[in-house]
């Protein structure tokens, strides 16, 4: 921070975090304040840095798969899917159809789980206590499906390179369908609590506006981009894992403010239910694991594969030098890139809005720092 | 007029309370009475490791092939074997498993060719010392023995 800011008598420098409940992890934001107004921010990250990319260079391809779950631990299944797709592309193989449909169901469930956690904590930041309990209750149902399927709730390690390790358990279809039936009325209930709530609207409408052009400049993706009216979803733009077979819409907003981002995510949960319902009805039979050699040694080359994670575009860049370990592995985390826009969104706003904006970006610090 | 009616009879308040009471249905209660009642975890749960023994003669199923140690990303399994001169076969001597570094990914379990190593449904792995988290062969065969509380 430049020296001169301290000499300006009206400017106050305030540290928000790293131990602040509404930074959703350990993020430190240095706020430059003029009274209640925010004149600028600076993010300090790295408190959760574990060197995941470097670990990737020192593990075999299969061994690295559990580590990707620990980046965005709220959406571990999506992380696993991105990594598996990247290595599969490097090996030039494809997962069998049964595995692909199962992957779609599990990642869409994961999108709902991630959005539910976001909704609960975001509402908590704004001051609505009730939704967090309801959201976690429904999230629990999803975690139960994961626990039954692969034996873990959060860091699932559900997918393997080339397909799946575990066969679907008995009653998976019924449990998933029951969840879908139960969940849609619950989304309406959250909307009943929040959408027309005067405090909610007052705190969110017109706060943290980010236009479509600005989103593109910063490289912001995911619901934040869609709330600004840009219809961009990788599931439609470059379908992977058979997403082209499903019928769903891309919800978009208009103003690109915090309220629109809330509405987009609520709609996305409904669309996810729609995809899950279509997918559950047509799980094909057949093998779940493709023909993958026991020792994975991809040919020399590099790939970049990106998927639409709940928070935005999640990309994996893998370079192979024909050994059992990646030569270089780079992750494009959506949270990290979306966090860049924080300064732009906060500048000129009020201190209380910072909390709302950090919440609406839906960052996970495990992914920002890696 | 309608507005006044809503104000006098606290309609909005009752609407709000109706949401609250609707969610008091015992079907929606998820709180687990943990030490008193153990949660039932899924069949495939990946918890405490166990080294299976042959139930008939009490001998270990492990053939000491070291595949689990090679599969583990953390390298936390150490297997030592000794060659038995009489039968000319490798025999397991020690097996250590550092649960404090384990991330329960299940790769070791998948690698085992004879299903000797297994992640079980036990989930109480806490220990008072760091050394207590490193499990030896005996501990792995017997499994953890957590205190059972009754309330
Ligand atoms: S579960 Fe994973 S981390 Fe733990 S010992 Fe097995 S392979 Fe290693
Ligand atoms: S893989 Fe199985 S048989 Fe081989 S050393 Fe490990 S536990 Fe023993």
Task: Give the tens place of pLDDT for each residue, A298-338.
Answer: 888 889 999 988 988 899 999 988 888 889 889 988 988 98
Q: Is the pLDDT of residue A2 over 80?
A: no
In A, what residues contact B, Cβ < 8 A?
59, 62-67, 70, 130, 134, 137, 140, 144, 147-152, 155, 157, 165-166, 169, 189, 192-193
pLDDT band of residue A6 (cuts 50, 70, 90) is low
Closest CA to A126 of A342, A355, A346, A347: A355
Q: Is the pTM higher than 0.90?
A: no
Specify the CATH number for B49-142; select among 3.90.226.10, 3.20.20.70, 3.30.70.3270, 3.40.50.1000.
3.30.70.3270
DSSP assignment of B23-71, as one string? TT-GGG-----TTTS-----TT---SEEE-B-TTT--B------HHHHH
What pLDDT sits at residue A215? 86
DSSP assignment of B71-117, as one string? H-TT--EEEEEEEETTTTEEEEEEEEEETTT-----HHHHH-TTS-E
Instruction: State pLDDT tens for residues A80-138.
Output: 999 999 998 888 888 888 888 999 999 999 999 999 999 988 888 888 888 888 888 88
What pLDDT sits at residue A8? 56
Instruction: State pLDDT tens for residues B20-71.
Output: 888 787 777 778 888 777 888 888 888 888 888 888 887 788 888 888 888 8
Average pLDDT over chain A reads 86
- Local structure of A362: helix, strand or coil: coil
Cβ neighbors of B10 (< 8 A, separation 6 or more) are none
- Give the whole-angstrom CA distance, residue B132 versus residue B100: 9
Contact across the interface for A148 and B19, Cβ inside 8 Å = no
pLDDT higher for A348 or A177?
A177
* Inside any domain, residue A240: yes
Instruction: State pLDDT tens for residues A193-252.
Output: 888 888 888 888 888 888 888 888 888 888 888 888 888 888 888 888 888 888 888 888
**How much of chain B, in percent, has pLDDT values that exceed 70?**
97
Residue with tokens 């998948």: B110
* Inside any domain, residue A269: yes
Q: Give per-residue burial for B48-67: e unless 16+ CB within 10 Å, then b.
A: bbbbbbeeeeeebbbbbbeb
Top mutation candidate among B65, B78, B81 for ligand 2, by most atoms within 8 Å of CB: B65
What pLDDT sits at residue A286? 84
CATH number (domain holding residue A62): 1.10.645.10
CA distances for A356 relative to A133, A202, A349, B32, angstroms: 19, 12, 11, 32
Instruction: State pLDDT tens for residues B6-25.
Output: 778 778 788 878 888 887 87
- Local structure of B124: helix, strand or coil: coil
Q: Where are the domains of chain B?
A: 49-142
H or E segment and range at residue A44: strand A37-44
Q: Are A328 and A354 spatial neighbours (Cβ–Cβ below 8 Å)?
A: no
Q: To the nearest whole angstrom, how far is the Cα of B44 from the nearest Cα of chain A?
A: 5
Partners of residue A171 in chain B, C-beta under 8 Å:
none
Q: Is the pLDDT of residue B116 over 80?
A: yes
Average pLDDT over chain B reads 82
Ligand 1: residue whose CA is nearest its atom 2: B105
Q: Is the pLDDT of residue A17 over 60?
A: yes
* Inside any domain, residue A40: no
What pLDDT sits at residue A151? 86
Q: To the nearest whole angstrom, how far is the Cα of A252 from the nearest Cα of chain B?
A: 29
What pLDDT sits at residue A112? 92
- In ligand 2, which atom is closest to the CA atom of B69? 6
Q: Is A123 left (phi over 0), alpha (psi -120 to 50) or beta?
A: alpha
**How much of chain B, in percent, has pLDDT values that exceed 90?**
0
Q: Is B64 in the pocket of ligand 2 (CB under 6 A)?
A: yes
**What φ, ψ does residue B112 adopt, rounded to 5°?**
-65, 125
Instruction: State pLDDT tens for residues A259-301.
Output: 888 989 999 999 999 999 888 888 888 888 888 888 888 888 8
The pairing of strands B77-84 and B89-98 is antiparallel
Contact across the interface for B30 and A150, Cβ inside 8 Å = no
Instruction: Report the number of distinct structural domains present in chain A.
Output: 1
What pLDDT sits at residue B1? 66
pLDDT band of residue A46 (cuts 50, 70, 90) is confident
Q: Are A267 and A274 spatial neighbours (Cβ–Cβ below 8 Å)?
A: no
The pairing of strands A328-332 and B89-98 is unpaired
What pLDDT sits at residue A3? 52
Q: Domain range for residue A97?
A: 53-337
Contact across the interface for B110 and A165, Cβ inside 8 Å = yes
* Inside any domain, residue A33: no
For the segment B82-106, the average pLDDT, to the nearest whole number, is: 83
Q: Taking each helix axis from N to C terminus, what angle separates A172-194 and A97-126, rounded to the nearest 10 degrees?
A: 30
- Please confirm whether the linkage preceding A130 is cis (ω < 30° from 0): no
* Inside any domain, residue A282: yes
Give the other-Cβ count within 10 Å of A200's Cβ.
Answer: 19
Q: Is the pLDDT of residue A5 over 80?
A: no
């Amino acid at each position: 921070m430049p020296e001169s800011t301290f000499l300006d008598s009206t400017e106050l420098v305030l540290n928000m975090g790293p131990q602040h409940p509404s930074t959703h992890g350990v993020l430190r934001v240095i706020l430059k304040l003029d009274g209640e107004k925010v004149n600028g921010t600076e993010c300090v990250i790295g408190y959760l840095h574990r060197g995941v990319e470097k670990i990737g260079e020192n593990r075999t391809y299969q061994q690295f798969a559990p580590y990707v779950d620990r980046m965005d631990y709220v959406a571990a299944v999506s992380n696993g899917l991105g990594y598996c797709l990247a290595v599969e592309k490097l090996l030039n193989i494809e997962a069998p159809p049964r595995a692909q449909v199962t992957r779609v169901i599990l990642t869409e469930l994961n999108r709902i789980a991630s959005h539910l956690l976001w909704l609960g904590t975001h509402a908590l930041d704004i001051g609505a206590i009730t939704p967090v309990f309801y959201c976690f209750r429904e999230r629990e149902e999803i975690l139960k499906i994961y626990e039954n399927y692969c034996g873990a709730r959060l860091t699932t390690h559900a997918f393997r390179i080339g397909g799946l390790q575990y066969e679907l358990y008995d009653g998976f279809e019924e449990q998933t369908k029951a969840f879908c039936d139960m969940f849609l009325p619950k989304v309406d209930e959250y909307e009943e609590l929040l959408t027309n709530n005067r405090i909610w609207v007052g705190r969110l409408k017109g706060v943290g506006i980010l236009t479509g052009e600005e989103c593109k400049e910063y490289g912001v993706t995911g619901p934040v981009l869609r709330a600004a009216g840009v219809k961009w979803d990788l599931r439609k733009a470059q379908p992977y894992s058979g997403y082209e077979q499903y019928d769903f819409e891309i919800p978009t907003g208009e103003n690109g403010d915090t309220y629109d981002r809330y509405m987009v995510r609520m709609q996305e949960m409904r669309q996810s239910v729609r995809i899950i319902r279509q997918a559950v009805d047509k799980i094909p039979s057949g093998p779940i694991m493709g023909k993958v050699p026991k020792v994975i040694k991809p040919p020399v080359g590099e790939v970049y594969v990106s998927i639409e994670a709940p928070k935005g575009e999640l990309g994996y860049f893998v370079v192979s030098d024909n050994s059992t370990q990646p030569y270089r592995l780079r992750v494009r985390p959506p949270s990290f890139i979306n966090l860049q826009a924080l300064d732009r969104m906060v500048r000129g706003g009020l201190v209380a809005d910072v909390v709302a904006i950090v919440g609406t970006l839906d960052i996970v610090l495990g992914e920002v720092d890696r | 007029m309608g507005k006044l009616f809503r104000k006098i009879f606290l309609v909005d308040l009752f609407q709000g309370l109706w949401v609250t009471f609707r969610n008091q249905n015992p079907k929606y209660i998820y709180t687990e009475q943990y030490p008193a009642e153990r949660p039932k975890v899924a069949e495939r749960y990946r918890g405490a490791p166990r080294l299976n023994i042959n139930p008939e003669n009490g001998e270990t199923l492990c053939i000491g092939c070291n595949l689990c140690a090679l599969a583990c990303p953390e390298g936390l399994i150490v297997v030592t074997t000794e060659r038995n001169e009489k039968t000319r076969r490798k025999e397991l001597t020690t097996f250590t498993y550092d649960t404090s570094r384990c991330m329960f990914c299940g790769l070791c379990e998948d690698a085992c060719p004879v299903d000797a190593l297994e992640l079980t449904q036990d989930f109480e792995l806490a220990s008072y010392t760091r050394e207590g988290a490193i499990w030896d062969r005996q501990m792995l065969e017997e499994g953890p023995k957590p205190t059972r509380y009754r309330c």
